[in-house]
């Protein structure tokens, strides 16, 4: 029996969305190999631990930029924090009404498809240099000193762009939440701390004595490096 859609096909179509379902990771991979998804919902009730594995897999593969929302019946913070650490863009606990799911899907798509106005200081299609790294804003990945590409999830890219557009300026957690996720986001404040930790890992920055993204106690975070626009892509 095929899995029951989380959001009915009729309701999705009424709101301009086309829903496809997969019972497990094998079916999801087969679908993504043959089609392009704009959004992925991982139901931890249906998938169990495989759901978190699939989240990690999506974030490290060719579909790393696809927005992910995790569903779970657990109301404690454990699954939520783990999901956010693995790269999920949002998290929703059961039970919920279909219109809340629709609202969250729209909110995530707004902030992943369209950069916030504050991020448009640096034009798309440029190479941004800072310290030993460069950010390719066309391919949306980091380049180390050897020119090796380091992939970023959508959330990691947006956070790094915020820091690069506001270098050497302390940004509070609230400012980072608003700039990267929009005011409609209802994620844990700690989600920014987790996201900063992930970006530090991408930058190979020592969390105990970071050289790039420094913690300013009781205030927030700051990108300690000066930034330079190296070249524009035509």
Strands 213-216 and 220-223: what pairing?
antiparallel
Cis peptide before 8 (omega within 30 of 0): no
DSSP letter (8 states) at residue 134: E
SS3 7: coil
pLDDT of residue 152: 87
What average pLDDT score do residues 10-24 get?
A: 74
pLDDT of residue 181: 66
Question: Which of the pair, 217 or 48, is modelled with greater confidence?
Answer: 217
pLDDT of residue 97: 87
Q: Are 205 and 155 in contact (CB under 8 A)?
A: no
Q: Are 125 and 138 in contact (CB under 8 A)?
A: yes
Cα 193 to Cα 213: distance, rounded to the nearest angstrom: 11
SS3 34: helix
Cα 191 to Cα 86: distance, rounded to the nearest angstrom: 11
CA nearest 55: which of 92, 47, 191? Answer: 47
Domains and CATH numbers, the chain: 9-113 (3.40.50.2300), 117-232 (1.10.10.10)
Banded model confidence at residue 94, pLDDT cuts 50, 70, 90: confident
With a pLDDT cut of 90, the percent of the chain lying above it is 22
CA 187 to centroid of chain Cα atoms: 12
pLDDT of residue 93: 85
pLDDT of residue 115: 42
SS3 45: helix
Cα 28 to Cα 25: distance, rounded to the nearest angstrom: 5
Question: Which of the pair, 168 or 61, is modelled with greater confidence?
Answer: 168
Helix-helix angle 154-165:98-113, to 10 degrees: 50
pLDDT of residue 2: 39
Taking residue 146's Cβ as centre, other Cβ atoms within 10 Å add up to: 6
pTM: 0.55
């Amino acid at each position: 029996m095929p899995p029951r859609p989380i959001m009915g096909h009729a309701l999705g179509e009424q709101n301009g969305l086309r829903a496809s379902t997969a019972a497990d990771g094998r079916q999801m991979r087969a679908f993504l190999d043959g089609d392009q998804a704009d959004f992925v919902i991982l139901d931890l009730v249906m998938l169990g631990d495989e759901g978190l594995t699939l989240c990690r897999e999506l974030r490290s593969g060719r579909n790393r930029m696809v927005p992910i929302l995790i569903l779970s019946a657990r109301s404690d913070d454990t699954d939520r924090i783990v999901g956010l650490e693995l790269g999920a863009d949002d998290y929703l606990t059961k039970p919920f009404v279909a219109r809340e799911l629709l609202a969250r899907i729209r909110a995530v798509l707004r902030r992943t498809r369209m950069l916030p106005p504050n991020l448009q200081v640096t034009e798309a299609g440029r190479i941004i240099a800072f310290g030993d790294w460069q950010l390719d804003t066309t391919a949306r990945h980091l380049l180390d000193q050897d020119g090796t590409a380091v992939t970023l999830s959508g959330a990691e890219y947006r956070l790094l762009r915020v820091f690069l557009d506001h270098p050497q300026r302390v940004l509070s957690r609230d400012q980072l939440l608003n700039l990267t996720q929009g005011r409609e986001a209802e994620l844990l404040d700690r989600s920014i701390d987790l996201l900063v930790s992930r970006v530090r890992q991408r930058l190979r920055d020592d969390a105990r004595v970071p050289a790039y993204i420094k913690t300013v106690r009781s205030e927030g975070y700051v990108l300690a490096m000066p930034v330079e626009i190296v070249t524009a892509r035509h």
